[in-house]
Structure 1
Amino acid sequence: MNVSIDKNSGYCFGVEYAIQMAEDELGNSAELYCLGDIVHNRMEVERLHQQGLRVIDREQLGALHDCKVLIRAHGEPPETYELALRNNLTLIDASCPVVLKLQNRVKHAFDASQRQDGQIVIYGQPGHAEVAGLTGQTGNRAIIVMNEADLDQVDFTRPVTLFSQTTKSTAGFYHMKQLIEERIAAAGGTVESFDANDSICRQVSNREPQLRKFAVEHDVIVFVSGRKSSNGKALFSVVNQTNPRSYFVENEQELSEAWFEGAQSVGICGATSTPMWLMQRVADRIQEIGAAVPA
């Protein structure tokens, strides 16, 4: 049984940058705080914990003084930086440049919308760290939508400016854009009052066609990702639609021998938050299974 890892899978630039910053800082100190999981992958979080990275939540952040805290790639709202100044915290800011640019765009769009009685709408996952950072640019007044029902929060007689969480599905964004256009028309408005901004990271969106091609090249696909990863859920959906013999796992312990019966070729791929070392560990385990499973 042939087993191969998708060369286009694994960390995006933003995640790789954040982890490198964490490792560099831990090389000089025994302990470093991180506001939230540095990456939505339990295995990688555990690896870095062994090196001294301590994950904290917002309540714990408020109790910290005179120490260093890592800001992960997802970015943070303005109030996090204000708290850091009050508590004399040194921030190791590993916010992804793509996310920072989007935060700036959202802030400028919000300021402009205030003069026009408009609304900022963000296509994204409620509660996601990146979305929290984006809505923070609007004083938490942005409307977050994930599906058509969420659009009931929007007043379509007023101007609408749409952005997307950087890791959402491109198809999902354009579907949401179409739904908003239909709602505006039904409310008697015009498309001139609607500004749709495709703010999805191209390093993420470009993986969709690459994954479709990879998925059809193999009998079985094993997609490796943390279950909390928004990007992982979106990309697995792409893979599963292309190849129904696709399976989602967090690590090699979740593999089932039955998945590989009759398979000649197995492809391994993952999210932008999936480390290459973990995909390799899964590949090694599948090789062991392949030696015991009849082709």
Structure 2
Amino acid sequence: MNITIDKNSGYCFGVEFAIQMAEDELAHEETLYCLGDIVHNRMEVERLHALGLRIIDREQLGTLHDCKVLIRAHGEPPETYQLAMQNNLELIDASCPVVLKLQNRVKHAFDISNRQQGQIVIYGQPGHAEVAGLAGQTGNQAIIVMNESDLDQVDFSRPVTLFSQTTKSTAGFYHMKQVIEERIAAAGADVATFDANDSICRQVSNREPALAKFATQHDVIVFVSGRKSSNGKALFGVVNKTNPRSYFVENETELQDEWFHEAQSVGICGATSTPMWLMQQVADHIAEIGELV
């Protein structure tokens, strides 16, 4: 059985940068707090916990004083920085540059939209950390949409400015864009007042065609990702559509022997939040299975 790990899978720049910053701090600090999971991958969170990284939520953040807190790649809304100043917290800001740039774009668009009685719409997962940071740039007035039914919140007689969470599916974004255009036209409004911004990270979107091609080159695909990962769900959808013998696992313990019966070639790939060491562990386990099936 031939087992290949996709060389284009694994951490994106933003996640790699955040984890490196955490490791650098923990090299000389016993404890470093992180607001939310540093990455949507349980195995990596557990590894960093052993080094001293402690995950906290927003309620716990409010109780901390005079210590260091890591801001992960997803970014944070303005109120997080205000609280840090009040509580004398030193922020280790590992916000992804792509996310920070998008936050600035959303803030600028919101200021303009306000003067035009318009609305900011964000195509993203409600409650996701990045989406919370983006909505925070609008004073939480942005309308968050995941599917067509969510668009019922939008007043299509008024101007609409659309952005996307950086890790969403490109196809999903353009479908939502088309539906909004149709609803604006149906409302008798001017489609020219609609401003759609494809703000999906190209490190993410460029993986979609590459993964689709990778999935055609193997009998079986094992996609490794944390189940909380929005990007993982989107990318698994790509490989599963291309190769129906695709399986989603969080780690090697979830592998099932029958998946590999009569398979000559197995491809292993993952999300932008999946560490390469974890994909290697999965590959090693599949090699052991291959000796048995």
| TM score, norm. by length of structure 2 | 1.00
Give 2:256's aligned residue.
Answer: 256
1:86-165 to 2 correspondence within 5 Å?
86-165=86-165
How far apart are residue 28 of structure 1 and its match? 1.0
Question: How many angstroms apart in 2 are the aligned matches of 1:180 and 1:146?
Answer: 13
1:256-295 to 2 correspondence within 5 Å?
256-293=256-293
The residue type equivalent to 1:210 in the other structure is A
Equivalent residue of 1:44, what SS?
Answer: helix
2:191 is the counterpart of 1:167: no
Give 2:43's aligned residue.
Answer: 43
Task: Could you list the structure 1 runs, at least 4 aligned residues long, displaced by more than 2 angstroms after superposition.
Answer: none
Question: How many angstroms apart in 2 are the aligned matches of 1:215 and 1:132?
Answer: 33
Equivalent residue of 1:121, what SS?
Answer: strand
Question: How many angstroms apart in 2 are the aligned matches of 1:217 and 1:93?
Answer: 40
RMSD (Å), alpha carbons = 0.2
1:19-58 to 2 correspondence within 5 Å?
19-58=19-58
How far apart are residue 94 of structure 1 and its match? 0.0
C-alpha offsets along residues 66-85 of structure 1, whole Å, 9 cap, x if unaligned?
A: 00000000000000000000
2:16 is the counterpart of 1:13: no
Question: How many angstroms apart in 1 are the aligned matches of 2:77 and 2:154?
Answer: 23
Unaligned stretches of 5+ residues in structure 1: none
How far apart are residue 5 of structure 1 and its match? 0.1
The residue type equivalent to 1:166 in the other structure is T
| TM score, norm. by length of structure 1 | 0.99
Equivalent residue of 1:262, what SS?
Answer: coil
Give 2:198's aligned residue.
Answer: 198
Give 1:77's aligned residue.
Answer: 77
Question: How many angstroms apart in 2 are the aligned matches of 1:25 and 1:164?
Answer: 32
Question: How many angstroms apart in 2 are the aligned matches of 1:291 and 1:189?
Answer: 64
Give 1:241's aligned residue.
Answer: 241
Question: How many angstroms apart in 2 are the aligned matches of 1:226 and 1:170?
Answer: 21
The residue type equivalent to 1:115 in the other structure is R
The residue type equivalent to 1:53 in the other structure is L
Question: How many angstroms apart in 2 are the aligned matches of 1:180 and 1:29?
Answer: 49
Equivalent residue of 2:237, what SS?
Answer: helix
Question: How many angstroms apart in 1 are the aligned matches of 2:267 and 2:114?
Answer: 49
How far apart are residue 275 of structure 1 and its match? 0.1
How far apart are residue 191 of structure 1 and its match? 1.4
Question: How many angstroms apart in 2 are the aligned matches of 1:114 and 1:46?
Answer: 43
Equivalent residue of 2:221, what SS?
Answer: strand
C-alpha offsets along residues 180-227 of structure 1, whole Å, 9 cap, x if unaligned?
A: 000000000111110000000000000000000000000000000000
How many residues are treated as equivalent by the alignment? 293
Give 2:181's aligned residue.
Answer: 181
**Sequence identity of aligned pairs in percent?**
85
The residue type equivalent to 1:121 in the other structure is V
The residue type equivalent to 1:157 in the other structure is S
Unaligned stretches of 5+ residues in structure 2: none
How far apart are residue 177 of structure 1 and its match? 0.1
